[in-house]
Amino acid sequence: MKITRAMALVSPLMFALAACSTKQASHTAAAPAALSVSFNGACAGCHGDSGEGGLGPALAGSKLSLADFTATVRAGSGPMPAFGAADYSDAQLSNDYAFLTGK
């Protein structure tokens, strides 16, 4: 009888803890494994193969928001040309932003 009562008290607690850990894990997105083909073809020559910088500024660890990052790529900046969605998709931009910033 004592074991049954203890299990009745412990079982709901175990399920609650399992549910909490599942919810937490589902909100954590995995970082992309690599930069896009578009970054490698259009950006790496100036910003480095991993965004570490070169002729252009470093992008790795950038504090820019995704909106500012996208706006800069779309409009260009200084000697950097603009890249339209046909050349660099929004999905590729989001992937590269996440890779470079860890966000």
Answer whether 14's CB lies under 8 Å from 30's CB: no
Range(s) of the domain holding residue 65: 37-101
Establish if 9 belongs to a structural domain.
no
Establish if 96 belongs to a structural domain.
yes
Does the structure show a pLDDT above 90 at 19? Answer: no
Using CA atoms, how far apart are residues 98 and 103, in angstroms rounded to an integer?
5
Establish if 66 belongs to a structural domain.
yes
Establish if 61 belongs to a structural domain.
yes
Establish if 17 belongs to a structural domain.
no
Give the tens place of pLDDT for each residue, 61-90. 999 999 999 999 999 999 999 999 999 999
Answer whether 39's CB lies under 8 Å from 78's CB: no
The domain total for the chain is 1
Q: What is the pLDDT of residue 22?
A: 41
Name the percent of the chain lying above pLDDT 90: 66
Tokens 């820019």 -> residue: 64
Establish if 19 belongs to a structural domain.
no
Establish if 57 belongs to a structural domain.
yes
The three-state DSSP-derived secondary structure of 64-83 is CCHHHHHHHHHHCECCECCC
Its pTM stands at 0.69
| All residues at 6 or more sequence positions from 44 whose CB lies less than 8 Å from its CB, including other chains | 35
CATH of the domain at 47: 1.10.760.10
Amino acid identity, position 9? L
